[in-house]
Amino acid sequence: MPRARKKSAPKLEAGAPAKSRSSARAKAGTAKAPARKRAGAAAGRSGNKGTATSASDAPRRTRSAATREEIIQATITCFVQIGYARTTTTEIAKVAGYTRGAVQHYFPTTEHVLKASVNYLTKSWLDSYMTAAREAPPGVDFIDYAVDTLWRFVNDRLFVAWQELVSASRTDKTLRRIILPAATKFERLRRDMAGSNFPDFAHVGRDKFDRNRDTLRFVLEGITSTILTYEREERVAAQLDWLKEWFHSSWQHELSTNQVDRRGSV
């Protein structure tokens, strides 16, 4: 008998599945592309918005910082002109030219403005004093320059405000809590600054240097706190001259043996 033939399965067209898969991928790719564009566009808009916001905030931050400083300056003026006891947010607002509400926007309580003012005046005074001490003209006598410079700065408006606060803090517990840490930092920075401005003197005798520096400071600050009722200028000038002579005498050995140079730039 003739052998029966097995029916062969119908052949699939070779290109059909491939075409189907390719078409599906093409459709998927077409669908994804707009999504990526939309995401990119959204990201671009978001980034541009952030940059624009940051740029627009810069002038506002500058104005805010300027307003804060104006309020602090007005507070310091109040300390000098009417004293700590009479300095209120209402008085500060009047001097600064703002409403009381505007002052309280930046400094909600009197304690806030006190802290900011103390930090500002001590830092500003130290920065100015250090700059002046370092800018001594070439050939100047160090000792004479040190006496004259400190005398000028203990009469500065910022230092007058500081002395007003120190005096008032004796009986005001809230103020004293602010003044004590500020005074501790102020003292340390003044001592460090003196050593860096007059390194030769500090190096050859730190104990004597600190003692002489304290003498100068105590005398000059004491004079500014004293009521002199007659011949004030003459008496002050006599004290300044005496201090210069005394300090030259105190450092005579070091000066004569060239351990320190009394002239030159600081």
Closest-CA residue to 156 (of 187, 127, 136)? 127
User: 247 with 212: CB under 8 angstroms?
Assistant: yes
Per-residue model confidence as pLDDT tens digits over 144-173: 999 999 999 999 999 999 999 999 999 999
- Specify the amino acid at residue 18: A
Q: Where are the domains of the chain?
A: 58-108, 110-256
Q: What is the pTM of this model?
A: 0.72
User: 223 with 215: CB under 8 angstroms?
Assistant: no
Per-residue model confidence as pLDDT tens digits over 243-254: 999 999 998 888
Q: What is the mean pLDDT of residues 179-207?
A: 88
Closest-CA residue to 156 (of 138, 180, 192, 132)? 132
Per-residue model confidence as pLDDT tens digits over 41-76: 444 444 455 555 555 677 767 788 899 999 999 999
User: 191 with 210: CB under 8 angstroms?
Assistant: yes
Q: What is the mean pLDDT of residues 172-191?
A: 93
- How many CA atoms are closer than 13 Å to the CA of 17, on its beta-carbon side? 3
Give CA–CA dist 55/50, Å, rounded.
Answer: 9
Give CA–CA dist 148/134, Å, rounded.
Answer: 14
**Could you tell me the CA-to-CA distances from 5 to 2, 8, 11 in Å, in that order?**
9, 9, 17
Would the pLDDT of 78 be above 80? yes
> Domain 58-108, what architecture?
Orthogonal Bundle (1.10)
Q: What is the mean pLDDT of residues 225-248?
A: 95
